[in-house]
Amino acid sequence: MLEVVQIPVLTDNYVYLAHDAATGETAVIDPAVADPVLAAAAARGWTITQILNTHWHPDHVGGNAAIVAATGARVTGPRAEAARIPHIGRAVAEPDTVSVGASTARVLDVGAHTAGHIAYAFEADRVLFPGDTLFALGCGRLFEGTAADMHAALAKLMALAPETQVFCAHEYTQSNAKFAVTVEPENAALKARAVLIDAARAAGLPTVPFTLALEAATNPFVRAATIGELAARRAAKDVFRG
């Protein structure tokens, strides 16, 4: 069973440690930076053995070099972006799998935010690392892909078990909620969630992780009925000022 530790860094990034107690293996997912990540592992007596990157953006790979230098960790990242992943040792794509101790993740191709973006789905553990593809009440911006790409990517993630815990890479939830309630003002589950989100943030608490089931009920991008509707919502969110 994986133990996941959330490390808030920079303005709104989350880096994660995924630790398998049985073997002592510890992976770090999308290290934006190195020092707080190494400190979080050291505080638990863990040694980072792997880095898993979801895409090439600097706030997801910025810590690779220093973590590799400090630990010798092996870097796994998206094959289609391998040239932009510092110190990559294993380039993966669907249907590859990645093991952290006794836990295994299925690699999912979810190109949209970036063209080669991948997600890591530890299905038996009910743990998903979607990077910048799926956020609480949101989805990634379409920097390199299309709305059709994002529609397919979100559908792929939503096909996982509803109780899956989603460990996304940013705390964007409060801003996403302000937009979401303009899209579906009559959605009672969404309104209730928005209240809880405001309370959590006021108390300085994270709103991540969350379940896929909650997204199915409340996320306007997941709930878009068509590619066109997703495209319109993504475009509206890009210019939304809550």
- Interface residue list for Fe ion (CB under 5 A): 59, 132
233 binds Zn ion, rule: CB under 5 A = no
Closest distance of CB 22 from Fe ion, Å: 31
* Tally of helices (H runs) and strands (E runs) in the chain: 8, 14
Query: Which of 81, 132 has the CB closer to Fe ion?
Result: 132
CA gap 91, 70 in Å, rounded = 21
Judged by CB under 5 A, which of 20, 81, 132, 149 binds Zn ion? Answer: 132
Given 19, 113, 117, 151, the catalytic residue: 113
Given 20, 30, 109, 132, which residue is catalytic? 132
Rounded distance, CA 77 to CA 60, Å?
Answer: 11
10 Å CB burial of residue 188 (0-12, 13-18, 19+) is exposed
Asked about 109 being catalytic, the answer comes back as no
Active site residue 151: no
Query: Shortest distance, CB of residue 131 to Fe ion, whole angstroms?
Result: 7
Comparing C-alpha atoms, which of 115, 31, 9 is closest to residue 75?
31
Q: How many CA atoms lie within 13 A of 155 on its CB side?
A: 11
Residue 30 interacting partner from Zn ion, Fe ion, none (CB closer than 5 to 8 Å by kind)? none
Q: Which uninterrupted H or E stretch holds 99?
A: strand 97-100
> DSSP labels for 130-181?
-TTSEETTEE---SSS-HHHHHHHHHHHHTS-TTPEE--SB--HHHHHHHHH
Pairing of strands 13-20, 2-9: antiparallel
Q: State yes or no: residue 57 binds Zn ion (CB under 5 A).
A: yes
171 binds Zn ion (CB under 5 A): no
User: For Zn ion, which is the closer residue by CB, 54 or 103?
Assistant: 54
Q: Of these residues, 19, 20, 30, 55, which one is catalytic?
A: 55
Nearer to Zn ion by Cβ, of 13 and 207: the residue is 13
- In the complex, the smallest distance separating the C-beta of residue 33 from Zn ion, rounded to whole angstroms, is 15
**87 assigned to active site:** no
Q: Active-site residue among 60, 109, 117, 151?
A: 60
In the complex, the smallest distance separating the C-beta of residue 59 from Fe ion, rounded to whole angstroms, is 5
Q: Give yes or no: 60 in active site.
A: yes
Instruction: Give every CB contact of residue 193 below 8 A, 6+ residues apart in sequence.
Output: 137, 177, 214, 218
Active-site pick, 19, 117, 151, 170: 170
Q: Measured between alpha carbons, how far is 233 from 221 in angstroms, rounded to an integer?
A: 7
Q: How far is the CB of 96 from Zn ion (least distance, A)?
A: 21
Active-site residue list: 55, 57, 59-60, 113, 132, 170
Q: Which residues bind Zn ion (CB under 5 A)?
A: 57, 132
